[in-house]
């Protein structure tokens, strides 16, 4: 009987008669291990594909890593700088605590005799306005601050020169001017200096002295008194709080006066000396003034207490304007608000009030206001007029400025110790304001000023204790003492070359 499957085909028959499918089935029946081997290879290839991704898939990982590194470099914040005095030592700014106070030699002390003929004014603007460029201050308001020489080689004001001699002799070795202890530098064989001030104002009088040296073209880099400037600046830096920028602390209720004058001095020292290491301390001093200022207004004794006065504001405005000229950051809105405040406290007569229109100069209650009657001084009107010039105002456009100038010329300087009219603070501001005004008001003022101030400066060169100084007998003499009176009157006698005229 034949098999149901039929007879097996011979090789020849398979080749000749079988289809491809039949041939493959016959082969698989004969060789089942081939199927098993193929399956195992397929499984193995699948496992390799799953667990070993193709090599080209690693490229995105490398690209991401590179992108992350670039981002970190861009966003990395700059390193924090150390406090200013911890910078790399520089011989021109490192504090000098062990250097003796510079004493001008005898030739220096004798080269500035008081003028014998007072017919030609030592404040004549034609003598002094010789532009001498130096550093960043070679333009703008500082253009006329020369090297102590005016046109024709004439010496600068002898009153200012002699004032600097006294100040240099009475500076402490650490750079401070000591309000109540300056007489420690006196020669005991000569008549001693009198007139101590209040110790809480050492920062303020030191700053005023520095401004006087800077006004005579002494900087941290050049000038006969450059070492005195360096020591004074470094003392102020040591008195500055690193966190707030405040100079001198809050030991007095009116400490902001001292700070504002010190900020003013640091800005000038930075700009006129072109000293980069001073930039941050000067900026911090301005920043404190801004933090102290009343919102939407100006300044007074306490920070942001909504109380304002023109006297503190005057020093703050000058600090701001000095900082702005030397490219420090100031709030321009604060300067605009200062202009608004001046309009609020002034009237058509030109009078500028202390805190509101119509008020006279401030005086301490009691004996002080009796000894120095407010009506004898126009200090606040002088402050207002001077600030208006530096705020960019023009008398041709602001009639109140002309009225103020006329008011000042009705209260001219007189050295009368009995009538209470001596006010060095008033004379300083009025001199600067009326020099800016020019014309007849300036001519009237400068003649009276020289008659009042010149003869009362100590002129006996044989007494080095007093030579070049002025007695502190004015309205604020007991607060600042002899250092204050000498520094501010030295500044007063520099008025016509310390700043150029801003309105032509």
Same domain, 394 and 469: yes
Over the range 213-228, which residues count as b (16 or more CB within 10 Å of their CB) and which as e? bbbbbbbbeebbbbbb
7 located within any domain: no
Comparing 145-149, 173-177, 331-335, 462-466, the range with the smallest average pLDDT is 145-149
Same domain? For 45 and 180 the reply is no
Is the pLDDT reported for residue 115 higher than 50?
no
Same domain, 192 and 271: yes
Cα(first)–Cα(last) distance of the chain, in Å? 141
* Claim to verify: residue 364 and residue 273 sit in the same structural domain: yes
pLDDT exceeds cutoff 60 at 137: no
Residue that the structure tokens 């004015």 belong to: 474
Query: Do the domain assignments include residue 147?
Result: yes
Question: How far apart, in whole angstroms, are the C-alpha atoms of residue 133 and residue 123?
Answer: 21
- In the chain, the largest separation of any two C-alpha atoms, in whole Å, equals 164
Supply angle C-alpha 36, 38, 43, rounded to 5. Answer: 95
Burial category of 460 from C-beta neighbours within 10 Å (exposed 0-12, middle 13-18, buried 19 and up): exposed
Task: Give me the pLDDT at residue 5, please.
Answer: 39
Confidence of residue 22 (pLDDT cuts 50, 70, 90): low
What's the whole-number mean pLDDT along residues 269-291?
Answer: 96
Same domain, 45 and 166: no
pLDDT tens-digit map of 43-52: 566 555 545 5
Identify the band that residue 357 occupies on the pLDDT scale cut at 50, 70 and 90.
very high
Q: Does 95 lie in the same domain as 40?
A: no
Q: Are residues 23 and 137 in the same domain?
A: no
Look at residue 21 in the predicted model and tell me its pLDDT.
Answer: 58
For the chain, the domain total comes to 2
Same domain, 393 and 445: yes
The answer to whether position 175 is within a domain reads yes
123 pLDDT band (50/70/90 cuts)?
A: low
In a domain, 69, yes or no: no
Q: Are residues 123 and 229 in the same domain?
A: yes
- Averaged pLDDT, 348-363: 92
| Nearest by Cα to 97 from 176, 214, 170 | 176
CB atoms under 10 Å from CB of 194, counted, come to: 12
pLDDT of residue 142: 83
* 154 and 207 together in one domain: yes
Is residue 74 a part of any domain in this protein? Answer: no
417: in domain: yes
What CATH number did the domain enclosing 166 receive? 1.50.10.10
Per-residue pLDDT, 411: 96
Residues 223 and 303 both lie in one domain: yes
Please indicate, yes or no, whether residues 39 and 108 belong to a single structural domain of this protein. no
pLDDT at 435 over 50: yes
Q: Is the pLDDT of residue 78 over 60?
A: no
What rounded mean pLDDT belongs to the chain? Answer: 79
**The model's pTM:** 0.75
Residue 290, number of CB atoms within 10 A of its CB: 15
Closest CA to 303 of 313, 311, 285, 291: 291
| Domain that residue 27 falls in | 18-52
Over the stretch 301-341, which tens digit does the pLDDT of each residue have?
Answer: 999 999 999 999 999 999 999 999 999 999 999 999 999 99
* pLDDT tens by residue, 482-504: 999 999 999 999 998 899 888 75
């Amino acid at each position: 009987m034949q098999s149901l499957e039929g007879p097996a085909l011979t090789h020849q028959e398979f080749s000749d008669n079988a289809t491809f499918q039949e041939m493959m089935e016959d082969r698989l029946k004969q060789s089942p291990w081939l199927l098993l081997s193929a399956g195992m290879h397929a499984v193995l290839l699948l496992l390799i594909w799953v667990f070993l991704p193709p090599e080209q898939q690693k490229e995105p990982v490398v690209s991401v890593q590179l992108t992350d590194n670039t981002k970190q470099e861009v966003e990395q914040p700059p390193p924090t700088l150390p406090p200013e005095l911890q910078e790399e030592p520089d011989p021109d700014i490192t504090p000098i605590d062990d250097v003796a106070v510079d004493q001008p030699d005898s030739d220096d002390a004798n080269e500035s005799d008081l003028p014998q003929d007072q017919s030609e004014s030592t404040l004549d603007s034609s003598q002094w306005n010789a532009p001498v460029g130096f550093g960043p201050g070679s333009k703008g308001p500082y253009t006329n601050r020369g090297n102590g020489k005016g046109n024709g080689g004439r010496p600068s004001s002898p009153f200012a020169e002699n004032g600097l001699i006294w100040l240099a002799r009475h500076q402490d070795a650490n750079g401070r001017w000591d309000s109540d202890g300056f007489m420690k530098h006196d020669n005991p064989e000569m008549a001693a200096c009198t007139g101590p001030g209040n110790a809480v104002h050492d920062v303020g009088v030191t700053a005023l002295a520095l401004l006087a040296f800077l006004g005579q073209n002494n900087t941290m880099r050049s000038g006969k008194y450059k070492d005195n400037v360096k020591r004074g600046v470094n003392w102020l830096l040591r008195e500055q709080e690193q966190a707030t920028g405040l100079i001198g602390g809050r030991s007095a209720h009116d400490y902001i006066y001292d700070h504002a004058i010190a900020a003013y001095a640091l800005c000038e020292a930075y700009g006129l000396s072109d000293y980069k290491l001073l930039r941050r301390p000067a900026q911090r001093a301005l920043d404190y003034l801004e933090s102290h200022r009343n919102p939407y207004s100006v300044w007074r004794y306490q920070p942001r207490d909504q109380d304002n006065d023109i006297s503190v504001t005057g020093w703050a405005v000058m600090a701001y304007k000095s900082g702005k000229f030397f490219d420090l950051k100031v709030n321009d809105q604060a300067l605009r608000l200062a202009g608004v405040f001046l309009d609020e406290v002034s009237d058509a007569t030109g009078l500028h009030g202390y805190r509101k229109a119509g008020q006279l100069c401030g005086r301490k209650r009691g004996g002080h206001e009796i000894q120095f009657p407010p009506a004898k001084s126009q200090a606040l009107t002088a402050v207002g007029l001077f600030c208006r010039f530096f705020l960019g105002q023009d008398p041709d456009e602001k009639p109140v400025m002309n009225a103020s100038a006329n008011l000042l010329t009705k209260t001219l300087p007189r050295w009368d110790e009995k009538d209470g009219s001596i006010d060095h603070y008033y004379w300083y501001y009025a001199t600067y304001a009326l020099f800016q005004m020019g014309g007849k008001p300036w001519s009237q003022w400068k003649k009276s000023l020289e008659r009042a101030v010149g003869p009362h400066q100590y002129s006996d060169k044989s007494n080095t204790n007093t030579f070049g100084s002025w007695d502190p007998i004015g309205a604020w003499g007991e607060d600042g003492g002899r250092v204050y009176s000498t520094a501010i009157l030295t500044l007063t006698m520099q008025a016509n070359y310390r700043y150029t005229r801003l309105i032509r």
